[in-house]
Structure formats: structure tokens, C-alpha cells
Amino acid sequence: MTAGTAETAGTGGAAETGGTAGTALVELDGVAKFYGNIRALEGVSLEVHAGEISCVLGDNGAGKSTLIKIIAGLHRHDAGDLLIDGVTTTLGSPREALDRGIATVYQDLAVVPLMPVWRNFFLGSEPTKGRGPFKRLDVTLMRETTRAALLRMGIDLRDVDQPIGTLSGGERQCVAIARAVHFGAKVLVLDEPTAALGVKQSGVVLKYVAAARDAGLGVVLITHNPHHAYLVGDRFVLLKRGAMAGSHTKDSITLDELTRQMAGGSELEELSHELERATGPEPDVTASNVSASDGTAPGEASGKPLRPA
């Protein structure tokens, strides 16, 4: 499925880093979402282009998962516009999103632990053979495709018959990504794929994300980690308490600046001053040191108590 799109994406992605050429595969424009009286998201805009990775960054509870659940069809937005291929749409169910080529890898992984890998891989889109009452699952095709699709992603699975719950977290994540890539998705949405993964596993997952981009998919990558984001991302949207705190393309921002903004900018400088005063003999704690030594959770480093009231 990827051969044709890969080429167009290769050229398209390189040519339009500015992002204004061509319609976005998915575009959010001033989108809002309320859970009862909780404002989870308001006035958020995002563009996803073929062959590009759009990163969404933000603290815990910033509304990142809510954002992607709107794109995935799990939640309906309350205000603003969701455009797919330039047409305003509302998605009624995950099925609709899938049918339009939007595949999502959820934060909570969305697999059925007790089911074998191959059944999970095809869940919801099972191929069948035969007619009428003899219509049945094409089990051999399912098994072989699962094995092959995983191998293509570089995952060498022991046994596609084992319950997916017995795989390691990284392997499960990879199955979910391979599944999304396999189903010819135009858009791949990943909610914190590298959270809870080791350094090496994170690298593996990022490699698959890049592979999906190179195959011509538009990718939305959610992460806490600015280092990961900067490594692969083409655009960056920063969320803070449900609102947009910034939107950048890769050539308009540096890693340090991205890290600083994510960690709360001036808040972090304030933090370093405060730490200086508190610890005394450690005068060289600077903003860049804090973020570099604790790359995985710079958001937490800013700490709620330090937020200017």
C-alpha cells in the first residue's frame, strides 16, 4: 500500500517545510472540548500534512489526549472545525475515522490482552473468505500478514499465536504501530508512544514513526519529551492547560527554545533562581542543565507550586 504514496511524500515533505502548499490531511481550527464544566481544550489549531510529523507537547492534563481523541473519532468537538482533506467534518465513531484513513495508537494501547497477536492485529478489520453462511476468517492470511507486517517494521515476533498481553510493552507498542501502518492509514496518530519505554525501545519506536513518515503518512506524535519531538518533528504545537501556548515549525525554533517553552519558560528561570537560593553551594543550576539532566520530564520540573498565582 505504501509504494505509491511513499514517493509523493518524499518529495512533498521535503519541499513544503513551510506547510502552506497543498491541503492538510487533517486540520483542526480553533477546536474546543468540554467535559461537563471542565474545559479540556479551547481554541486549539493543528495541521497534519503528508510526509510530516506534527508534535503535540504539553504538561500532564494539558489536553493532548483529548485533542487526539477528537481526531480519532472517540470524542466529538464542541466548537471549532475539524477538516479532513480540506472538508469540514464531524467524526461520529472511531470506525468513521478508520474508514477515512486515520489510525490511532492510543496512550493505553488499545489491545485486548488475552487475544492472540494476529487476532488483535486485525481486530475490527478482519479479512474473510467464502460466501454466505460459509464466510469465515481467512486465518492463514491473517497469521502470515501479521508476521510479515511486523517483520517489515523490524519486529521479529516469537509467535503470533501468543496472547498480546504476554508481549513486552515495547513489542505491544510496535504491534499497534504496525497495525496502524498496515491498514493503509493516511494519518497516524500516536499518543505518547515512548512513555514508559526504555531508552533503546524509545529509539526503536521513533524509528518506526520516522518510517511511517517516510512511507508518506501524516503523523501526529504526542510526547512529554522535547528531545524526542525535536528529533523527528516537523511542526510543534505546545498546549498548556487546554489552550495553545505556541505553534512552531522546525526551522523556526531550536531544541533549547522548545525545551524552555515546554518547561514553562520564565517559570524555569525562576525555578533555577529559587534552587540556587535553596541549595546554596550549587550555584550553576541553569535552565539548560535542568532540562538536559532530566530530559524525560521537564514539565514536572517546573512544578505546580512555582506557578505564579
Partner 1 sequence: MTATASPARGTPEGPRVTAGGGDERLLRVSPLRRLLGRPELGAVVGAVAVFLFFSFTADSFLRPSSIGTVLYAASILGIMAVPVALLMIGGEFDLSAGVMVTSSALISSMFSFQMTANVWVGVLVSLLVTLGLGAFNGIMLTRTRLPSFIITLGTFLMLTGLNLGLTKLISGTVSTKTIGDMEGFPAARKLFASSLTIGGVDLKVTILWWAALVALASWILLRTRYGNWIFAVGGNADAARAVGVPVRGTKIGLYMGVALCAWVAGQHLLFSFDVVQSGEGVGNELKYIVAAVIGGCLITGGYGSAVGSAVGAFIFGMTDKGIVYAEWNPDWFQFFLGAMLLLATLLNAWVRKRAEASR
Binders of partner 1 among 173-202, rule CB under 8 A?
174, 201
Residue at 183: amino acid letter: F
> Under rule CB under 8 A, which residues in 39-78 are in contact with partner 1?
72, 74
Amino acid at 250: K
Q: Quick check: 113 binds partner 1 (CB under 8 A)?
A: yes
C-alpha span between 150 and 147 (Å, rounded)? 5
Residue 226 interacting with partner 1 (CB under 8 A)? no
Rounded Cα distance, 214 and 199, in Å: 22
Minimal distance, residue 108 CB to Mg ion, in Å: 9
The identity of residue 201, as a single letter, is Q
Per CB under 8 A, the list member of 3, 60, 156, 304 interacting with partner 1 is 156
Contacts of 271 (CB under 8 A, 6+ apart): 290, 301, 302, 303, 306
Stretch that binds Mg ion, among 83-91, 105-113, 181-189, 257-265 (CB under 5 A): 105-113
**Which among 57, 172, 204 has a CA at the least distance from the CA of 108?**
172
- The DSSP bridge partners found for residue 27 are 47, 83
Please report how close the Cβ of residue 119 comes to partner 1 at its closest, in angstroms: 6
CB of 61 to ligand ATP, least distance (A): 4
Q: Which grid coordinates belong to 273?
A: 533562581
| Cα torsion angle, 253, 255, 259, 262, sign | positive
> CA Rg, the chain, in Å?
21
Among the listed residues 27, 52, 59, 65, the single contact to Mg ion using CB under 5 A: 65
**Neighbouring-strand partners of residue 240:** 243
Pick the binder of ligand ATP from 54, 65, 194, 291 (CB under 6 A): 65
SS3 239: strand
Strands (E) across 109-214 are located at 128-129, 136-137, 187-191
Window 29 to 48, contacts with ligand ATP (CB under 6 A): 35, 38, 40
Angle at 200 between CA 197 and CA 205, to 5 degrees: 65
Site for partner 1 contains 136 (CB under 8 A) = yes
Backbone angles phi, psi at 127, to 5 degrees: -80, 145
Q: 9 vs 190, which CB is nearer to ligand ATP? A: 190
Residue 151 sits in the site that holds ligand ATP (CB under 6 A):
no
- The answer to whether residues 218 and 19 touch, using CB atoms and an 8 Å cutoff, is no
For residue 104, the partner it binds in partner 1, ligand ATP, Mg ion, none, with Cβ less than 5 to 8 A by kind, is partner 1
User: Given candidates 54, 66, 120, 302, which one binds ligand ATP under the rule CB under 6 A?
Assistant: 66
Contact status: 90 vs partner 1 (CB under 8 A): no
Cβ proximity to ligand ATP, 48 vs 57, nearer residue: 57
Report DSSP state, residue 288: H
Q: Is 62 exposed, middle or buried (0-12, 13-18, 19+ CB in 10 A)?
A: buried
Residue 249 contact partner, candidates Mg ion, ligand ATP, partner 1, none, CB within 5 to 8 A by sort of partner: none
Least separation, in Å, of the C-beta of 59 and ligand ATP? 7
Residues that bind ligand ATP in the complex, under the rule CB under 6 A: 35, 38, 40, 58, 60-66, 107
Residues that bind Mg ion in the complex, under the rule CB under 5 A: 65, 107
Residues that bind partner 1 in the complex, under the rule CB under 8 A: 72, 74, 93-95, 98-99, 104, 106, 108-115, 119, 122-126, 128, 135-137, 139, 147, 155-159, 162-163, 166-168, 170-171, 174, 201, 204
